[in-house]
Amino acid sequence: MGPKFRAWYKNDNEMISWSSLLYGHNLRNVFMRPDMCGLILMQSTELNDKLGEEIWHKDILDETIVNPFSRKEEINRYVVDKKDGMWVLTDSKGLQRHDEFLFKKNSRCVKVGNIFENSELLEKSHES
């Protein structure tokens, strides 16, 4: 299967599907100069979360873990990003720990949104 894309359309604050990109925009401009079109392109990672939802670049994922010291459940919140050709998980501040690769954690995470439509989720994780 070939790569799939979607885009955040900054002018209207809406997510645009691949089919809408194909039929509604000049594809040459979309890929060569997305900023000129007011678009932020995102690629599918072709991985699913633990509920079977497709994960995209710039999605927000939650991983529930049990703290080994307190034995209480905690939620780690990540943003999907791409670094050196690999899908990585960064924290809400954009920092990546050495072992946070999407392929290692996707089946333990749940997609809760994306940074464009659900930016308030990142603000909440800054507070904790």
Domain with 88 in it: what CATH number?
Answer: 2.30.30.290
51 compared with 104, residue with greater pLDDT: 51
> Can you say whether residue 59 is alpha, beta or left, with left for phi > 0 and alpha for psi between -120 and 50 degrees?
beta
Confidence (pTM) = 0.85
32 burial (CB, 10 Å; 0-12 / 13-18 / 19+) is exposed
Range of the domain at 106: 5-127
Instruction: Give the whole-angstrom CA distance, residue 128 versus residue 123.
Output: 9
pLDDT digits (tens, 9 = 90+) for 55-99: 999 999 999 999 999 999 999 999 999 998 999 999 877 666 656
- CA distance to 21, 73, 115, 126, per residue, from 92 (Å): 28, 19, 10, 7
50 compared with 37, residue with greater pLDDT: 50
Residue identified by tokens 């991983």 is 63
User: How many domains does the structure of the chain reveal?
Assistant: 1
